[in-house]
Amino acid sequence: MVTHLAAARERLAQVPDPEIPAVTLVDLGIVRDLRETASGVEVVLTPTYSGCPATELIADEVRAALAEFGDVTITLQRAPAWSTDWITPEGRQKLQQYGIVPPQCSAEQAIKVVPRLRCPRCDSGSTQQLSRFGSTACKSTWRCIECGEPFEYFKPI
Ligand SMILES: [Zn+2]
């Protein structure tokens, strides 16, 4: 069976993240590889957080998106662990526009430095962290002192 890897890659690049639909799985760096197999394609995924319940959902979405290319084999690759460093520049831009501040530094720096975030809505630098955990463990909740709006920060890991 002849698969068209380029077409499959393009299709794969459209699949949104189930938790943050503003970005795609490719934007987040979750998709590690796409290979041709004898009967279809194999997609290598590295889930963002080991406890993320979205992993099954992500696998289902990828299977559905690539169904026309034959059998879809999903391989979960957990090492090396996913890092926010893998989020593409385009992904960071989309997160910012969506109102989630993308990671401001590498995971290594994050251990030492508390970030100074700018509000994604009004760009004010007076912000405060409200909670270390937001709607998911991946994010923390912040508030802008200037406009009063809460926003989320995608923590570096
Ligand atoms: Zn603001």
Domain ranges of the chain: 5-76, 84-154
pLDDT score, position 3: 55
pLDDT score, position 132: 79
Fold topology of 5-76: GMP Synthetase; Chain A, domain 3 (3.30.300)
Q: Mean pLDDT, to the nearest integer, of 106-118?
A: 75
Q: Burial of 53 by CB count in 10 Å (0-12 exposed, 13-18 middle, 19+ buried)?
A: exposed
Q: Which amino acid is at 50?
A: S
DSSP for the chain, written as a single string: ----HHHHHHHHTTPBPSS-TTSBHHHHT-EEEEEE-SSEEEEEE--SSTT-THHHHHHHHHHHHTGGGSEEEEEE--SSPP-GGGS-HHHHHHHHHHTEEPP-S-HHHHTT----PPPTTT--S-EEEEES--SSTTEEEEEETTT--EEEEE---
What is the rounded average pLDDT for all residues in the chain?
89
The percent of residues above 90 in pLDDT, for the chain, comes to: 68
For residue 146, the CA-to-ligand 1 centroid distance in Å is 5
At 38-72, the pLDDT tens digits run: 999 999 999 887 556 688 899 999 999 999 999 99
For residue 64, the CA-to-ligand 1 centroid distance in Å is 39
pLDDT score, position 35: 95
pLDDT score, position 52: 62
For residue 27, the CA-to-ligand 1 centroid distance in Å is 25
pLDDT score, position 51: 59
For residue 121, the CA-to-ligand 1 centroid distance in Å is 5
Model confidence band, residue 115 (pLDDT cutoffs 50, 70, 90): confident
Model confidence band, residue 131 (pLDDT cutoffs 50, 70, 90): confident
For residue 147, the CA-to-ligand 1 centroid distance in Å is 4
At 2-19, the pLDDT tens digits run: 558 999 999 999 999 988
pLDDT score, position 6: 92
